[in-house]
Amino acid sequence: MNLIDYFDAGVIGHAGATCFQDHASRTSAITYSEADDLINKNARGLQALKLQPGFHGAVLSGNNAGAFIALLSILRADGVWLPVNARNSLESNIEFLRDMECDVLFYQASFQEQINRIKESLPRISHYIVLEDDAREDMTMSALGEGWLGTKLPNDYDPDKLALIMGTGGTTGRSKGVMLTHRNVTMTLANHMSIMAIKERMTVLAAAPITHTAGLVSMPFMCRGGRVILMDGINPQDLLRTIEVERVGFIFLPPTVIYMLLAQPNVRDFDFSSLRYMMYGAAPMSPDKLAEAIEVFGPVMIQIYGQAEVPGAISALTVDEHFIDGKIAPRDRLLSAGRRFPFVRAEIMDENGNILSGARQTGEIVAQGDIVTPGYYKNPEATAEVRKNGWHCTGDIGYFDEDGFLYIVDRKKDMIVTGGFNVFSSEVEAAIMAHPAVKDCAVIGVPDEKWGEAVKAVIELRQGHSVDVSDLIQLVKERLGSVKAPKTIDIVEELPRSAVGKVLKKEVRKKYWGSHERLVS
């Protein structure tokens, strides 16, 4: 399959059903038939611009129907989509578009000032297309498709052609471009469909940026004619209200956003009976907050674990696996990343490249299969660094238990070595997050003359709450022992986060490492 085949299945079976709907203007809706017509006309317009098969196209926009249609138009025209997150800094987006050799850029009119800067910096981009019908110097998307037939372009089936190049995020240095073929991404979606029963039309709320997981995970629901509501930016109250009013059945959210929802004083006043799946991933989730989420939203939580190089489909904790004997599973289970997806090979490898077959043997999580990226765009050296004995090395440390559940101890670079002992920050974070006053936290190692590194927690509190840091340290000591307990805790108004909501530990560390030669990252 090709990625756009998921959309095509919706066109074939549900032509008159609503496909895209902008949250900001709920009266406007685009049916599958109408979207298909626009996409096909746009694709013919792109080909008329003399763009060669395999051209690179991007969309600089918030979440809206026009942006989704633009990215599907790129794929229909045999192009490669470059997902650009509008919430990233302009400098990082310019760097990504330059390194990934962008040829054509669709954009939302509100980003005109950024587009002017991009034009100055990136002469390679030959075409700029405005999503709206605003009168300006660049071509509009409606003008791009004007006069062309709405029939599909002939496209040779080749699952090993590139579908997209995903940026690694750039939080630990210059962003690398993860090449993903149609085979890679359709295998990801097949894995997701294997753990969800998508038997009828469902409403999907795309609240997280569609340039990442929220966009891709919408595609399987299109097979059944699902309605995708595009929400640009997350307002907790608005999001909760939308789930209730629009009868949302599926949503993907990073844990930080779920914490925001749980922190709303009236969160239990909304009707979540329509929800079938609330998928979470992209960062570890506190087991205590997860149990609270199940109590609030119902038996709908589903975790995915992966990374851009193995896109979101190494393992999953299904809805049912959040329970044991009809009750919410204990913390030990909720700490798990679930079991392997069916269409991927995942193992634990030691430092010498040997696969560890026994249960609870800790090592690096590695993966094989059709889901694994062929490598980083024009960066064979970086590709070679993550390959060992035919396996992709994730950089994540973990183990499988006797029942096949995967536990992620931490990323290699997040390991704190204090007094000769290894402390994994995610374990300490999970203990701290058990406190009801804590909204989010980051545990890092900081320089210490006695211990080499000392464990420090930087926490963000729920609105209106306070906490005695000595009580919090004692809580961790009781759960994990004194070695793993933070020596100090700082309370901040807000932790630094990436455009997709991940806490940026590198930014947190900067304050404490200063001019030290070795910055833990």
* Residues 453, 486 contacting (CB under 8 angstroms): no
Between 153 and 240, name the one with better pLDDT. Answer: 240
Calpha distance 56→46 (Å, rounded):
11
Q: Work out the mean pLDDT of the chain and round it to a whole number.
A: 91
263 burial type by CB count under 10 A (0-12 exposed, 13-18 middle, 19+ buried) = middle
Q: What is the pLDDT of residues 352-386, one digit of tens each?
A: 999 999 999 999 999 999 999 999 999 999 999 99
Whether residue 27 is predicted with pLDDT greater than 70 in this model: the reply is no
For the ranges 22-31, 65-74, 448-457, 500-509, the maximum mean pLDDT occurs at 65-74
Q: How many CB atoms lie within 10 A of CB 512?
A: 18
Question: What pairing do the DSSP bridges indicate for beta strands 345-349 and 339-340?
Answer: unpaired
Calpha distance 6→521 (Å, rounded):
39
Query: Given the structure tokens 């239990």, which residue do they identify?
Result: 268
Q: What is the band of 405 on the pLDDT scale with cuts at 50, 70, 90?
A: very high
* Residues 426, 284 contacting (CB under 8 angstroms): yes
Length of the chain equals 521
* Residues 497, 503 contacting (CB under 8 angstroms): yes
Calpha distance 411→406 (Å, rounded):
14
Three-state secondary-structure class, residue 295: helix
And the tokens for 41?
């006309």
What dihedral angle (degrees, nearest 10) is formed by the CA atoms of 384, 385, 388, 394? Answer: -120
Q: Which amino acid is at 222?
A: M
Q: What is the pLDDT of residues 48-71, one digit of tens each?
A: 999 999 999 999 999 999 999 999
- In the chain the first and final C-alpha atoms are separated, in Å, by 38
Scanning 298-424, the segments in alpha helix (DSSP H) are 331-334, 380-385
* Residues 445, 417 contacting (CB under 8 angstroms): yes
Distance (Å) of CA 254 to CA 148, 192, 228, 459: 40, 16, 18, 18
Q: What is the pLDDT of residues 168-207, one digit of tens each?
A: 854 344 679 999 999 999 999 999 999 999 989 999 999 9
The radius of gyration of the chain from alpha carbons, rounded to an integer in Å, stands at 23
Three-state secondary-structure class, residue 427: helix
Angle (CA) 501 507 513, round 5°: 155
Angle (CA) 233 234 236, round 5°: 160
* Residues 407, 398 contacting (CB under 8 angstroms): yes
Three-state secondary-structure class, residue 282: coil
pLDDT at position 520 is 35
pLDDT at position 26 is 63
pLDDT at position 426 is 85
Question: What pairing do the DSSP bridges indicate for beta strands 162-167 and 177-181?
Answer: antiparallel
